[in-house]
Amino acid sequence: MSIKLCVADWCFFAQAGLPPDAFYARLRSLGYEAAEMVAAPRLEAARGAGLRIANLTLFGDCMPRGLNRREEHPRLVPRIRTAMAEAAAEDIGAVIVFTGNRMGQPDSEGLENCRRALAELAPEAERLGVTLLLEVFNMYDHEDYQADNSHFAFELVRAVGSPRVKVLYDIYHMEMMGESAAEALARNVALVGHIHVAEAGNRSRPRLDGVIPYGRIVAATMAAGYRGYWGMEFHPHGDPFAELEEVRRDFIAAAGG
């Protein structure tokens, strides 16, 4: 089984201490296929190195007030439409969106408000061939975030019912919330459009036999049929390229490659 691996730009670019062209060329030489959440001024450098751009993020637009609040829809729906058009024009496959914080709002109300906005956007996403990814977070790093469990996110995506609206399942965040990522991903693999990985606690590089059992998670998720990207979104504690190389070897082995 072939596993697709990409690198979250924000975790590694600054620490690497290299010019953009050299940084992305190094990622490509390690065997990574794509980069994600790349800052706009560096997009051409990443592409020039032979990397695909997996997605762009609207974190700053959707947090702390996001799609879970109806009064934000007049602001956010046009902004997301613009981002989808930009992504399509730039051959970027996905746009990451967020619920925003609860602020005392019941989950049922937040889910319905998100559903309304995503259902309105889904036809345009389908026409453009761009996937909207709803990301999950844990309650410790992102206090009060509404989609702090995968049940919320999967229920929302099922309710929208579009092949272009999926969950960005962050294993680090959901394992911190006490979920079994291996089980959740295997049960809901058709609803998952992208995966982020990191070790629990200090968000260091994922290990096959770590606190989060990535060996089992990768094998089970790939066996269930997942073929999207696994995004390296961890904080390197040493040489970032050496850690990325080691994780790549581990994940390929776990996937049976």
Contact 170, 233 (CB under 8 A): yes
What are 111-139's pLDDT values in tens digits? 999 999 999 999 999 999 999 999 999 99
Tokens representing 97 are 């969106």
Length of the chain in terms of residues written:
257
pTM: 0.97
pLDDT reading at 221 higher than 70: yes
What are 42-99's pLDDT values in tens digits? 999 999 999 999 999 999 999 999 999 999 999 999 999 999 999 999 999 999 999 9
pLDDT reading at 1 higher than 70: no
Domains within the chain, CATH numbers bracketed:
4-254 (3.20.20.150)
- Cα(186)–Cα(222) distance, rounded to whole angstroms? 8
Residue type, 47: R
pLDDT at res. 257: 77
> β-strand 165-170 against 34-36: which pairing, if any?
unpaired
- Cα(33)–Cα(35) distance, rounded to whole angstroms? 7
pLDDT at res. 234: 98
